Amino acid sequence: MNSVHDLGGMHGFGMIDRSQQENFVQPWERTVFALTLACGMLGRWNLDESRFARERMDPGDYLKGSYYEHWLHGLELLLKEKGLVSENELASGSPEGSSDLSAIPAGRMAALLERGGPTAMDNTDVPAFRAGDPVLVRTFNPKTHTRAPRYIRGKRGVVATCHGAHVFPDSHASGTDRLPAYLYNVRFEAGEIWGAGDAQGNSSVHVDVFEPYMEADHA
């Protein structure tokens, strides 16, 4: 979806506040971090659904809110959408029924975190592109989740590497099965993206781009 989370190349945010050195700025942010990970491990949603939930935050709230406010919004939304808590329970903080899910115990955390959630998959198709191929990112503007930022859409680049097949996030974010799609690192010259007059000299942007976002560039 084209919302304000897609920040690359936007103006108006001022200087970077380099005094913000810590991850957790407010004490409650630790709680949001831990709740988000712990609830995610219950297995009722995947990482792409988490990202899509955060992106669906009201655009003004997203920009005014801190990073962990995005997480809090996403967590509450998923808990409700997946039926783990009700709107009433969220408002009151008191449970109205029991859950058929059990908390992941502390003792299992280390192993789960060390395993993580690999997204590499087998794919029986042959990759459409290989390193050195010129590619054109398609023009598309889905209302649903995508990992193609707006600034590369319609732009030409060159494949730097093929990362093999990975879970395709656009469909995974709607809770469907893991579908494989080849993933490439694509190099875009800064001038191609921002225009020759506005790009900074001798610079490029490398973006990981899924095969369905691209076509061969015959120009």
- Could you list the residues that contact a second copy (CB under 8 A)? 1-4, 9-13, 55-64, 138-143, 150, 154-155, 192-195, 197-198
Query: Contact between 216 and other proteins (CB under 8 A)?
Result: no
Output the CA angle 165-151-4, nearest 5 degrees: 100
Task: Please write down the HEC assignment for all residues of 43-60.
Answer: CCCCHHHHHHHHHCCCHH
120 binds other proteins (CB under 8 A): yes
Read off the DSSP letter of residue 16: -
Distance CA 40, CA 48 (A): 11
**Out of 157, 166, 170, 214, which residue is the one contacting other proteins (CB under 8 A)?**
166
Instruction: Tell me: does residue 142 bind other proteins (CB under 8 A).
Output: no
Between 164 and 212, whose beta carbon lies closer to a second copy?
Answer: 212
> Between residues 7 and 34, which has the closer beta carbon with respect to a second copy?
7
Nearer to other proteins, 43 or 124 (CB): 43
User: In 46-149, where does DSSP find H-type helix?
Assistant: 47-55, 59-64, 67-81, 87-92, 106-115
Among 116, 122, 124, 132, binds other proteins (CB under 8 A): 116
